[in-house]
Structure 1
Amino acid sequence: MSALALLPVIVGAAFLASGAAKIRGATALAEAAQRFGIPRALATPVTAGLFTAMELALGVAVLVAPSPWSVAAASAAALVLAGFVALTGRAWRRGDDFDCGCFGAGGSTRVGPGLVARNTALLAAAVGAVIGGVLGAPTPLDVLGDTEGRLWLAVAAVTAIAGLLVTRLTADDRVRAATAATPGQTVELPSQEHVIEPGGYRTAPSFEVVGPDGEVVESLMLVAHRPVLLVFVKTGCGSCEGLLSDSAELIETLGPDGPVLVFAVSSARSVFEDAHPELLDRAVYGVASAREKLNVQRTPGAVLIGLNSRLVAGPVLGDTPVRELAASARALLEAPVPSLP
């Protein structure tokens, strides 16, 4: 096999893996795009879904397109990867540090030199595939040679994508099973989503939201000075609107020395700001990843996070459980931390 024939295989596999991991994660991808500085009008769940479909189609084309279409496919992949390098490089130079969303909300790849190096290496592979195609290097299909070989390549690609989808769906099923409890029941986080620290308490998974000033805020910074009661809401949800209307009462319940009340808003920012201008300084946006990692599968829901990202309680789901958590928040924070068995 020609060494140049391996380059489109590497590039195509990367696009397929990336696209498959983003399936059913359009909202999280749109939020990640906004963090990279893509205009909000372009970074929407619809465009994110189209981008995911493009990644999958491009991955297949790079792998199976015959010459001369293989050169066109590799060229398109190189252009996309050049865009990735530019975006991630710019974010790294700015000093940004957030999850790039490269492999969906379930992944965790931070902006930094490693991400830039990975994208640069893939770009080099794509450029090499273009050069190889122009010079007449064999395509993956040429190497396989016959119809049977092409069939095996297609089967392998479908199997790989199916494996990724099954993994994602299985994880979703575990979440749905956990949240099938009554609305007032506290839902335990799956073991892979939190850590038991030596001090004997659960640590909330790291996540990011967008603050009132438009800046990305990491979960650790959200609770850097005071614990937070993070209440997940969206406009148009009757129970959510009740909690939003009673925000002053909830703040009084938490007390001046208690946790800070913060609303994690799933709705469009402009819609929420028009409906609740009095809560602008208590709202955070871009919360799809936070909802997924904290297993808040419907609204309203809430988690109580202490200092050092200690997961004190939650998630709880429903209007009454959220109010009950607010009422008991100070006592929960003051209670002794349980020891490890």
Structure 2
Amino acid sequence: MLPTLVIFPVLVACVLIASGALKLPQRSRTLQSFAAFGVPAALRKPWTAVALPIGEIILGAALLLLSGPAYLVAASLSTLLMAAYLTVVARSVAKRQAVDCNCFGALSTEPVSQITIWRNAGLTVAALLATVIPGMALGVPTQLALFSLGDWMWLVAIAITALLGIIASLVKTPAPTAASTAGAVSSGQDFELVEQGPDLISDPSARDMIPHNLELVSGDGSPELLYNLVVIPRKTTILIFARVGCGSCGPVLSQIGDWSRRMGDDAQIIVATSSSRASIKKSYPSALPSTYFGAKAVTEYFEAEATPAALLLAADGTIASAPEYGSEVITERVEQLLASFDAQRQAQPQG
């Protein structure tokens, strides 16, 4: 066995320890990720949000410190855990769900993607090699004690390369999704920056207009033009793309009724979905009054590549932001708008 192959258990151990340590303070996000990934309800408990990161830390430490049969058990469990992570991430990406995996706590806030799949696949292979390569059961301390200077140089070089790859996968941000079509909003503002004016939107001359032919279907089966839904009531509109069966859509759809109530006459929410009216009524009845169906054309125009997604439409019929993804991001943006409305109301003279 080449001594530098010890990089496999060392890499997996370091990733597990880092993942557990960074995930431990983020227990609420871990539970949200469980729900988004479709983890059975029996396992979506506060204790599991603590047990998982602690288990990762213990497993990582075991890979670094144990030898013999105990090491092989730890390596096998690591392989199974990495394979499980790979499976749920691949399934989520295949379903085009914008799920925040909370893999590395606050360092990983972007939805899972193909990059996440490749990263998890690499870690799964590393864990498997750490299990099956002859001589690995000697344990990491024994193998390191046999290292020559050249072995140490190779180990450091490989470790740095692997860590840089993992860091790059964490900090990489997705390219804007609506920058290349006629509906692109490259000149529009980011959702989080919209905070001025009676419509909460500034510089309308720089924005593209909502097309006049984008059609949705109301709950009673009537066709409705998206442009008319925004312009006729003259309201700032949060357009949300969500569907039943998307785990990360649940926290958004369950709040639609409350958000609409708190907005009052200041703004409105329109939910565009590919789900059926019956499924929305059964699972999220409070969202039904704000929901429109047959969302394929609208989804394709705005290039909402995953669910949940949300963007802002101005009361004058212009597009005020590009889509943003994930239940936490959408919740934060809506709460920002609600806070802006509250501030405006408080600033108005009392009659």
Look at both structures and tell me which one has the larger radius of gyration over its CA atoms. 2
Distance in 1 (alpha carbons) for counterparts of 2:66 and 2:99: 35
User: Which residue of 343, 348, 351 corresponds with 1:325?
Assistant: 343
Say whether the 8 Å CA contact 2:257–2:286 is kept in structure 1.
no
Residue 80 (structure 1) aligns with:
81
- CA 73–302 in structure 1, closer or farther in 2 if over 3 Å, else same: same
Residue 175 (structure 1) aligns with:
none
Residue 8 (structure 1) aligns with:
9
Say whether the 8 Å CA contact 2:10–2:64 is kept in structure 1.
yes
Residue 203 (structure 1) aligns with:
192
Say whether the 8 Å CA contact 2:257–2:287 is kept in structure 1.
no
Bigger shift: residues 23-32 or 8-17: 23-32
Deviation at 1:80, TM superposition (A): 0.6
- CA 128–280 in structure 1, closer or farther in 2 if over 3 Å, else same: same
Distance in 2 (alpha carbons) for counterparts of 1:83 and 1:65: 23
Distance in 2 (alpha carbons) for counterparts of 1:82 and 1:99: 18
Residue 177 (structure 1) aligns with:
none
- CA 112–202 in structure 1, closer or farther in 2 if over 3 Å, else same: closer
Residue 94 (structure 2) aligns with:
93
Distance in 1 (alpha carbons) for counterparts of 2:329 and 2:26: 13
Residue 130 (structure 2) aligns with:
129
- CA 204–142 in structure 1, closer or farther in 2 if over 3 Å, else same: farther
Residue 336 (structure 2) aligns with:
303
Distance in 2 (alpha carbons) for counterparts of 1:200 and 1:89: 32
TM normalised by structure 2 equals 0.49
Deviation at 1:74, TM superposition (A): 0.6
Query: Which amino acid in 1 is paired with 2:268?
Result: V
Say whether the 8 Å CA contact 1:5–1:137 is kept in structure 2.
no
Q: Secondary structure at the match of 2:60?
A: helix
- CA 61–210 in structure 1, closer or farther in 2 if over 3 Å, else same: farther
- CA 290–93 in structure 1, closer or farther in 2 if over 3 Å, else same: closer
Deviation at 1:327, TM superposition (A): 2.7
Q: How many residues align?
A: 214
Deviation at 1:203, TM superposition (A): 2.8
Deviation at 1:6, TM superposition (A): 1.1
Distance in 1 (alpha carbons) for counterparts of 2:9 and 2:40: 31
Deviation at 1:110, TM superposition (A): 2.6
Listed as ranges, the matches of 1:92-111 within 5 Å are 92-111=93-112
Unaligned runs of 5+ in 1: 147-196, 223-227, 232-246, 263-276, 295-300, 306-312, 315-321, 331-341
Q: Deviations over 1:284-308 (max 9, x none)?
A: 9xx99459977xxxxxx94217xxx
Listed as ranges, the matches of 1:8-47 within 5 Å are 8-47=9-48
Q: Secondary structure at the match of 1:96?
A: coil
The alignment yields a C-alpha RMSD, in angstroms, of: 4.5
Residue 60 (structure 2) aligns with:
59
Say whether the 8 Å CA contact 1:11–1:125 is kept in structure 2.
yes
Q: Secondary structure at the match of 2:337?
A: strand
Distance in 2 (alpha carbons) for counterparts of 1:89 and 1:27: 23
TM normalised by structure 1 equals 0.50
Deviation at 1:280, TM superposition (A): 5.4
Unaligned runs of 5+ in 2: 147-185, 195-239, 271-283, 291-307, 309-325
Say whether the 8 Å CA contact 2:6–2:136 is kept in structure 1.
no
